[in-house]
Amino acid sequence: MGLLKDGKFIKSKTKSPRSKPAPTDARNPFTGEETEKQAASKEAKQSLAAELKELTELHKSGALSDAEFKAAKKKLLG
């Protein structure tokens, strides 16, 4: 934004306090740490990914049939 001088806008030499966008990562802006809810969500996603990877490996190795793999994946993903 600019300032008014003689009815015209002039560019300000200083930045406004809101010139920096709000943080969008999973960290508390005051401490830099993840909140408990965000940490739990992150762990759940990692756990889900690990379980999917394990199912895929079992399927590729032949331990699970196509039908078993599909059913297990459906149960895991909801």
Of 3, 22, 23, nearest in space to 12 by CA:
3
How many Å apart are CA 40 and CA 34, to the nearest integer? 10
55 CB neighbour count, 10 Å cutoff: 19
In the Cβ-directed half-sphere of 19, how many Cα atoms lie within 13 Å? 8
Summarised one tens digit per residue, pLDDT across range 20-54 is: 666 555 666 677 676 777 777 777 777 888 899 99
Q: What is the pLDDT of residues 52-75, one digit of tens each?
A: 999 999 999 999 999 999 999 999
Read off the pLDDT of each residue in 2-30 and give the average, rounded to a whole number. Answer: 65
pTM for this prediction? 0.46
| Tokens matching residue 37 | 């809810």
